């Protein structure tokens, strides 16, 4: 029997045992998974109820399809709808790429306050 076939036979017999020995680490923790599910549900409701882009910057397509988080998505700000801004893709990209201008226009706030 060739070395290749021996290796294949060995892997078939012992490879599965090695995989079962080590548990897989979840990519997302249970708490964050629940937050993501809650966020997706709320996001859809907000986008359906507030259909117009609220940023209205140059190049705006007028239809809200994304949520801009005025205070970022860290911690409690992720699910706090008072800091959400429904926006079109063009406006959202502009706000994310130009944080100083977004703050000047009132579309972003300091995360630490």
Tens digits of residue pLDDT in 39-88: 999 999 999 999 999 999 999 999 999 999 999 999 899 999 999 999 99
Distance CA(110)–CA(61), nearest Å, equals: 27
Distance CA(107)–CA(63), nearest Å, equals: 17
Would you state the pLDDT for residue 90?
97
SS3 at position 54: coil
Note the pLDDT tens digit of each residue in 80-95. Answer: 999 999 999 999 999 9
Is the full-model pTM beyond 0.85? Answer: no
User: 66-69 and 84-87 as β-strands: parallel, antiparallel, unpaired?
Assistant: antiparallel
Pull the structure tokens for residue 73. 């998505």
pLDDT exceeds 70 at position 108: yes
Would you state the pLDDT for residue 24?
75
Half-sphere exposure (Cβ direction) of 8: Cα atoms closer than 13 Å: 5
């Amino acid at each position: 029997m060739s070395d290749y076939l021996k290796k294949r036979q060995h892997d078939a017999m012992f490879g599965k045992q090695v995989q079962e020995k080590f548990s897989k680490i979840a990519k997302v923790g249970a708490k964050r998974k629940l937050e993501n599910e809650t966020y997706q549900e709320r996001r859809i409701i907000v986008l359906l109820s507030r259909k117009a882009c609220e940023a209205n910057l140059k190049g705006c397509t007028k239809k809200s399809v994304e949520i801009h988080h005025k205070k970022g998505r860290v911690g409690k700000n992720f699910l706090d709808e008072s800091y959400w801004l429904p926006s079109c893709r063009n406006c959202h990209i502009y706000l994310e790429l130009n944080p100083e201008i977004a703050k000047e226009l009132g579309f972003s706030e300091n995360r630490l306050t």
